[in-house]
């Protein structure tokens, strides 16, 4: 059984490393991953301003998600699953948490700046591509920008 809860401050380094391992599953090289480290590091102040949830079962932490809300728009800031635990349903459960939480906070749409390899998951969950957006970590790299309707 997968349970959801808010992460503890002392778990942030472990969750940041989980994000790095999850991103690396797509075969990116060391230079690419080094460039992504800052973006994938969960800072303590993030716990105060955004909404987080981690998924866990008896084997430990499965994944983590973060959303930010501004007016009627939610941004899925991150959703990463431990590579050894992919396919267990944690991604779907965390995505459903993110959409339900955003909706409960007045969001009518959620924007997802997706890794090209992860975009099919979000499209399967009901998001649609609305354009491209510049990567925060890799200059010149464009990412699929997706929208999920919450209302």
pTM above 0.85, yes or no: yes
Mean pLDDT score of the chain: 96
Starting at the earlier edge strand, list the strands of the sheet with 109-113.
Answer: 3-5, 51-57, 60-70, 73-81, 109-113, 142-149, 128-134
pLDDT tens sequence across 60-103: 999 999 999 998 999 999 999 999 999 999 999 999 999 999 99
pLDDT tens sequence across 35-51: 999 999 999 998 888 99
Classify domain 3-149 by CATH number: 3.40.630.30
The percentage of the chain sitting over the pLDDT mark of 70, rounded to a whole number, equals 100
């Amino acid at each position: 059984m997968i349970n959801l809860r808010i992460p503890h401050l002392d778990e942030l380094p472990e969750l940041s490393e989980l994000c790095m391992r999850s991103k690396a599953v797509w075969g990116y090289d060391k230079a690419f991953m080094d460039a992504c480290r800052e973006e994938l590091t969960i800072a303590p102040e993030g716990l105060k301003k955004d909404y987080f949830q981690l998924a866990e079962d008896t084997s430990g932490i499965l994944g983590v998600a973060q959303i930010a809300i501004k007016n009627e728009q939610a941004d899925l800031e991150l959703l990463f699953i431990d590579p050894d635990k992919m396919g267990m349903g944690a991604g779907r459960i965390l995505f459903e948490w993110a959409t339900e939480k955003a909706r409960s906070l007045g969001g009518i749409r959620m924007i997802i700046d997706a890794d090209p390899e992860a975009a099919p998951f979000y499209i399967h969950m009901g998001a649609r591509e609305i354009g491209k957006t510049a990567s925060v970590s890799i200059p010149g790299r464009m990412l699929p920008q997706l929208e999920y309707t919450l209302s």
